[in-house]
């Protein structure tokens, strides 16, 4: 290090010390204030009723009492809010104390005499007088300079317009526990040194924030504000998920007055992924957005009357049942039901239902039909046709509720009620007694009282018994949705669909499944969509930003459905067509291949640089896919991937040895990736007595560092230090190329493939220089 560099570093360290001192001062002050707020809250809670004037003698007093309670409650909730805010601020300050900033730029604005020093951290921090920024939030307009420009001419956008000038210096810091551990002055891209450092470290079970090393092309995605629909197509490991989470943090900052974390929703690929990304936003001082898998969403909408196949079971079928007689029919079905063509058919069907065909369910009571499906049907079709179906359904609902009330009255005098009254509990008698007292129904005549009491008790019994019926009607369960969906296939079975092979068999297969009260996963979205067309559904207005990660796994039908549910929401889609494992297996369109949406407010970004894996792994994985030559690896050297041909009976002992080797090399997260669940269970059972490992299944929601056995499709979106493919020879079909590519790209530092039955044909075009081959024989 030169003298100048040395001096610079000392000055910077001195500044860090000063800033940390300021932070500590602020922390102390805030803690004192927070203490005061806590005692205020406690006091207010304790004395809440003492400070309220309660007087209910006349209406004026009542109004005054209500106002007094309201005032006291507002005071309490204001104090509680302040306390929450202070806690949040304290947490951020603690983080700043540990690492106050990660970057500095010196920017000379045109027309100014001296350059501003701008230090960037995860949050803003002002001096004691609240006049100058000692640290700028990385999301502040001026901070974009850091991500967008090398030293030289530079500009940034503010609400008042563009500010132009020259960047004199761009510096990066690695500060830990208030000590500068590294400091680099950088050129064109944001510190390769820094990236080397970050990317060379071990995989974590939780994703990390990339705030200090966001790349320019990622920054464009993070800060994009214009588009209603933002589409990011990025190769594996290009930082799509990272950029998405940073974007959430950015939007929360940029629109802090109007946008809250509960207004943002992320659709993630599996439950494991939810916990994988859960710490990024809190690390940045923000709360997590809402998160769900699409499957969770759709299954919850279907309710629990049917057995719904899940996406992973569907995938497992596609991977393992290729020999099934009906496999081709099923695959064609999955493909067609994914398309907008199919959606159009459902739309037309719904239109036809306006005139005829809605099927209802008998409302029964005590084993007898109370209101028949035919009666409901006739009432429904007697209503004005100009009314939409959902409107008419609402009218039917109201009518049915009225009818039920009438029936309750009629039912009271039936003999079964009298019998039931005998068996009522003491408490229920008491309740009736209380009711009579309240209503002053007692008379001098005890005989009358008895009759009154019996009437009330009968009413109580009947109402109780009718409750499920009322609930059923309120939840619109008088519509036979299953029957209506089923009828669609019966009606269309004989149609010759120009575009679809095996249509007739698809219909037969679907009907057979539905008749068992079971629904294929590919039917889940069309079913709920049709249900919405019939029963109507209010669109969700509270969600303003939707993020769809792994968008390549969404069908055009699913995407259109989501758009319909959240019409007021902006959307960010992130995906990689080469990882479209579901569509790879069926040839179905994905939302990324079928996006017809163009327009002023649609923008697309392409990310071709990949950060996750070593250069050697990227060279190998890129050769697996078409167009892979466009993928640009980050220059981080490592070992070449290897394939070892192993006799089947040697696989487990070989995998075990490989795991130990990786552990000795310091790798902490090692994944044994299996093609299917069946293979995962087999591998887990074979290895579990030899070494501590975890089996990841579709319901697993989090995982620890260590060794994991995981089915291929559940490893989506996640990364590991080292990956061992339990048997790469199993990836044989062209339809599994994307799956094979996806699993190989999960590896950060090491990729090893076991082959029990020769090298996978999917590697036929991969140059031998990209991987090593070994063979292990039984007696070797």
Ligand X SMILES: Nc1ncnc2c1ncn2[C@@H]1O[C@H](COP(=O)(O)OP(=O)(O)OP(=O)(O)O)[C@@H](O)[C@H]1O
Interface ranges with ligand X (CB under 6 A): 195, 198-199, 208, 210, 213-215, 218, 234, 236-242, 576, 579, 611-612, 717, 719, 745
Annotated binding residue at 405?
no
Closest distance between ligand X and the C-beta of residue 394, in Å? Answer: 43
Classify each residue of 657-673 as buried b or exposed e, where b means 16 or more C-beta atoms within 10 Å of its C-beta. Answer: ebbeebbeeebbbbbbb
Closest approach of Cβ 699 to ligand X, in Å?
21
Taking the complex as a whole, the smallest distance from the CB of residue 208 to ligand X amounts, in Å, to 5
Tell me how far apart the alpha carbons of residues 46 and 54 are, in angstroms, rounded to a whole number: 16
**Residue 238 counted as an annotated binding residue:** yes
559 vs 741 by CB, closer to ligand X? 741
**Which residue's structure tokens are 């009542």?**
62
* Burial of residue 278 (number of CB atoms within 10 Å: 0-12, 13-18, 19+): middle
Residue 298 CB, nearest distance to ligand X (Å)?
22
Q: Hey, what are 128's tokens?
A: 């004691």
Residue 242 annotated as binding site: no
Closest Cα to residue 772, out of 650, 647, 755? Answer: 755
Beta strand ranges found along 177-286 (DSSP E): 179-185, 229-234, 264-268
Q: Would you say 286 or 576 has its CB closer to ligand X? A: 576
The verdict on whether residue 123 carries a ligand-binding annotation is no
b/e burial code for range 172-205 (CB count within 10 A of at least 16 → b): bbbbeebebeebbebeeebbbebbeeebeeebeb
Strands 747-755, 642-646: pairing kind: parallel
DSSP string across 578-608:
GG-HHHHHH----TTTS----STTEEEEEE-
User: Is 241 annotated in some ligand binding site?
Assistant: yes
CB of 216 to ligand X, least distance (A): 10
Separation between Cα atoms, residue 240 and residue 549, nearest integer Å: 8
Residue 271 or 717 with smaller CB distance to ligand X? 717
The torsion of the CA quartet 123, 124, 125, 126, rounded to 10 degrees, works out to: -170
Nearer to ligand X, 246 or 314 (CB): 246
Nearest residue to ligand X on Cβ basis: 239
- The smaller minimum CB distance to ligand X, of residues 614 and 760, is found at 614
Q: How far is the CB of 678 from ligand X (least distance, A)?
A: 25
The CB-of-528 to ligand X minimum distance in angstroms stands at 28
Question: Is 234 annotated as contributing to ligand binding?
Answer: yes
Strands (DSSP E) contained in 480-614 are 518-519, 545-548, 570-575, 602-607, 609-610
Residue 720 C-beta: closest distance to ligand X, Å: 11
| Rounded CA separation 389/395 (Å) | 10
The reply, when asked if residue 367 is annotated as ligand binding, is no
Residue 329 among known ligand-binding residues: no
Cβ nearer to ligand X, comparing 588 with 618: 618
Nearer to ligand X, 120 or 353 (CB): 120
The Cβ-side half-sphere exposure at 310, using a 13 Å CA radius, reads 17
Q: Which of 658, 723, 710 is nearest to 684 (CA)?
A: 710
Residue closer to ligand X, measured from CB, 526 or 717: 717
Residue closer to ligand X, measured from CB, 218 or 652: 218
In whole angstroms, how close is the CB of 711 to ligand X at the nearest point?
16
What's the distance, Cα to Cα, between the start and end of the chain in Å?
52
- 42: closest CA among 88, 76, 78? 76
Show binding-site residues for ATP. Answer: 234-241
Show binding-site residues. Answer: 234-241
């Amino acid at each position: 290090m030169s003298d100048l560099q040395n001096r610079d570093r000392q000055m910077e360290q001195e500044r860090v010390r000063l800033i940390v001192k300021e932070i500590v001062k602020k922390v102390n002050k805030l803690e004192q204030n927070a203490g005061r707020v806590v005692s205020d809250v406690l006091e207010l809670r304790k004395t809440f009723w003492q400070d309220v004037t309660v007087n209910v003698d006349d209406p004026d007093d009542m109004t005054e009492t209500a106002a007094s309670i309201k005032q006291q409650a507002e005071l309490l909730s204001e104090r509680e809010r302040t306390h929450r805010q202070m806690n949040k601020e304290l947490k951020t300050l603690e983080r700043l104390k540990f690492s106050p900033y990660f970057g500095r730029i010196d920017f000379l604005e045109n027309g100014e005499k001296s350059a501003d020093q701008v230090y960037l951290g995860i949050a803003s921090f002002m001096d004691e007088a609240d006049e100058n920024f000692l640290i700028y939030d990385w999301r502040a307009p001026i901070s974009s300079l850091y991500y967008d420009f090398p030293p030289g001419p530079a500009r940034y956008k503010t609400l008042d317009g563009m500010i132009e000038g020259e960047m004199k210096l761009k510096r990066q810091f690695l500060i830990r526990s208030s000590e500068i551990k590294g400091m680099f002055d950088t050129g064109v891209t944001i510190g390769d040194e820094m990236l080397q450092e970050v990317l060379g470290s071990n995989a974590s079970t939780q994703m990390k924030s990339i705030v200090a090393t966001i790349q320019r092309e990622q920054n464009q995605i993070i800060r994009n504000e214009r588009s209603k629909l933002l589409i990011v197509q990025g190769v594996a490991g290009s930082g799509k998920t990272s950029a998405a989470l940073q974007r959430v943090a950015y939007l929360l900052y940029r629109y802090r007055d109007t946008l809250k974390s509960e207004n943002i929703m992320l659709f993630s690929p599996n439950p494991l992924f939810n916990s994988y990304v859960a710490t990024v936003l809190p690390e940045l001082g923000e709360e997590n957005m809402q998160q769900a898998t699409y499957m969770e969403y759709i299954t919850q909408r279907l309710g629990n009357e049917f057995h719904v196949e899940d996406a992973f079971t569907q995938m497992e079928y596609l991977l393992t049942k290729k020999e099934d007689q009906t496999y081709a029919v099923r695959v064609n079905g999955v493909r067609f039901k994914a398309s907008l063509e199919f959606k159009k058919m459902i739309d037309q069907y719904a239109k036809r239902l306006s005139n005829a065909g809605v099927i209802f369910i008998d409302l029964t009571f005590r084993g007898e039909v109370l209101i028949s499906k035919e009666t409901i049907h006739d009432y429904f079709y007697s209503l004005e046709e100009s009314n939409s179906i959902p409107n008419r359904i609402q009218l039917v609902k109201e009518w049915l509720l009225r009818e039920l009330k009438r029936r309750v009255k009629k039912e009271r005098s039936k003999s079964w009620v009298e019998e039931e009254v005998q068996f009522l509990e003491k408490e229920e008698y008491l309740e009736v007694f209380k009711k009579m007292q309240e209503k002053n129904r007692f008379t001098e005549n005890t005989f009358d009282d008895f009759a009154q009491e019996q009437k009330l008790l009968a009413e109580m019994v009947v109402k109780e018994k009718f409750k499920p019926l009322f609930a059923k009607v309120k939840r619109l369960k008088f519509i036979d949705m299953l029957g209506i969906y089923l009828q669609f296939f019966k009606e269309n079975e004989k149609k010759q669909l120009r575009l679809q092979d095996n249509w007739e068999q698809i219909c037969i297969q679907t009907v057979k499944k539905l008749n068992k009260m079971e629904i294929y996963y590919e039917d889940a979205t069309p079913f709920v969509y049709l249900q919405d067309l019939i029963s109507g559904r209010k669109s969700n207005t509270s969600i303003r930003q939707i993020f769809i990660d792994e968008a390549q796994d969404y069908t055009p039908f699913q995407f259109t459905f989501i758009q319909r549910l959240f019409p007021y929401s902006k959307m960010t889609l992130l995906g990689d067509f080469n990882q479209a494992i579901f569509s790879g297996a069926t040839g179905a369109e994905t939302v990324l291949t079928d996006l017809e949406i163009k327009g002023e407010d649609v923008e697309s970004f392409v990310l071709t640089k990949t950060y996750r894996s070593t250069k050697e792994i990227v060279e190998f994985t890129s050769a697996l896919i078409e167009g892979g030559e466009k993928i640009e690896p980050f220059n981080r050297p490592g070992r070449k991937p290897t394939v070892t041909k192993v006799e089947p009976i040697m696989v487990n002992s070989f995998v075990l040895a490989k795991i130990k080797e990786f552990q000795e090399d310091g790798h902490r997260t090692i994944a044994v990736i299996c093609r299917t669940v069946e293979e995962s269970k087999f591998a887990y059972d074979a290895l579990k007595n030899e070494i501590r490992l975890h089996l990841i299944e579709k319901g697993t929601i989090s995982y620890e560092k260590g060794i994991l056995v995981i089915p291929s499709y559940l490893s989506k979106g996640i990364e590991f230090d080292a990956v061992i493919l339990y048997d790469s020879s199993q990836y044989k079909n062209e339809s599994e190329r994307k799956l094979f590519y996806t699993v190989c790209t999960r590896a950060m530092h090491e990729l090893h493939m076991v082959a029990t039955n020769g090298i996978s044909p999917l590697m036929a075009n991969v140059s031998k220089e990209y991987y090593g081959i070994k063979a292990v024989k039984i007696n070797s």
